[in-house]
Amino acid sequence: MGNGWGGRRLGAGRKPAGATALPPIAALTARVAVLERTCHDLAAIVARGRGLRDNADAALIAAIHAATAGDAFMSRELCDHARVVPALGLALEAADLTTAQELGHWLRRVEGQRSGSLIVVCVEPDRDGHSWAVRDVRE
């Protein structure tokens, strides 16, 4: 067969500079399994419309925790509190949340999701509204 290289494959028998041995198949299979699980988990979060979407979401969780010290709150109370805590107000604005209703929808979306060591939890579901808290899982 004429391949233009006199019948030899280009680079046959030579190892490229800096090449290392390939990891064993078992190690590669384990890595692929972890990546597949991660992709499956992320796809499930996206399908549910849940989870943190950007850095503004993570910053808001941190600002809520700083402003409430882990205490329970309702969306309306947090919006009112943002008027006297500038960092909280700025975080709400950065996350494009302007009303208590929008904040409530956002809290439902991020419920159970971790941002570092912080997690949003629904403390008390109620017909009149839910009570929420941002807790540090290390405490």
Is residue 125 situated within a structural domain? yes
Is residue 37 situated within a structural domain? no
Is residue 114 situated within a structural domain? yes
Is residue 107 situated within a structural domain? yes
Q: How confident is the model at residue 8 (pLDDT cuts 50, 70, 90)?
A: low
Is residue 123 situated within a structural domain? yes
Please give the residue range of the domain that contains residue 131: 55-136
pTM (predicted TM-score): 0.63
3-state SS, residue 38:
helix
Name residue, tokens 């067969």: 1
Is residue 126 situated within a structural domain? yes
Tell me the HSE value of 53 on the side-chain side, using a 13 A CA sphere.
12
Give the angle 119-102-87 at the CA atoms, nearest 5°.
60
Q: How many domains does the chain have?
A: 1
Q: How confident is the model at residue 132 (pLDDT cuts 50, 70, 90)?
A: very high
Is residue 49 situated within a structural domain? no
Contact predicate 89/59, CB 8 Å = no
Average pLDDT over residues 41-54: 66
Q: How confident is the model at residue 77 (pLDDT cuts 50, 70, 90)?
A: very high
Is residue 45 situated within a structural domain? no
Within 18-125, strands assigned E span 114-115, 118-124
